[in-house]
Amino acid sequence: MSRRERQGAILRLVREREIATQAELVEALREAGVDVVQTTISRDVAELGLVKVRGASGRLVYAQPGTAPNRDRLRELAASLRRWALDFEASGNICVVSTPEGYAEALAKEIDTAGHPDVLATLAGKDTILVVAREGVTGAQVRDNLRAQLLEGAA
């Protein structure tokens, strides 16, 4: 496995699981079929610029720079939806979000950053965002979930 592939695996693992130590990271990589030593992981952690954040369990865990715990990201998404979302429509596996002109890109970035489990990707224009749902999720479900986020944030 190349350095790039290994570092990609590390990034996936720290997004998906709470990993607090380099030893835990080595073990998680081995479980994923990647045989590494701790010194290699130490270099990778430094090169990737991983930081420690407080996880849901309360432990300090590795994360990519600039990432917040999921609950904080979803709270930020709710605030962004209140600021910029005007309307939601659904079709098939797509949800279309309307924004004031010039705000679609910023809201799409917030949706992407939130790491919502139902969202595969976003594509933003000037005032419209296409939100693509993951396999098995409908655009209507994404629409309803984003509306619920908007309403939760308003309470």
Are 35 and 104 within one domain? no
DSSP the chain: --HHHHHHHHHHHHHHS---SHHHHHHHHHHTT----HHHHHHHHHHHT-EEEE-TTSSEEEE-TT---HHHHHHHHHHHHHHH--EEEEETTEEEEE-STT-HHHHHHHHHHHT-TTEEEEEE-SSEEEEEEPTT--HHHHHHHHHHHHHHHH-
CATH number of 9's domain: 1.10.10.10
In the predicted model, is pLDDT for residue 71 greater than 70?
A: no
Q: What is the pLDDT of residue 70?
A: 60
pTM > 0.75: yes or no: no
pLDDT in tens, 88-121: 999 999 999 999 999 999 999 889 888 787 899 9
Q: Do the Cβ atoms of 153 and 73 come closer than 8 Å? A: no
Residues 15 and 86 in one domain: no
Instruction: Provide the β-strand partners of residue 53.
Output: 61
Number of domains the chain contains = 2
Are residues 80 and 130 part of one domain?
yes
> In the listed set 28, 45, 63, which residue is the last one of a domain according to the structure?
63
Query: What are the pLDDT digits (tens) for 3-54?
Result: 899 999 999 999 888 999 999 999 999 999 999 999 999 999 998 888 887 7
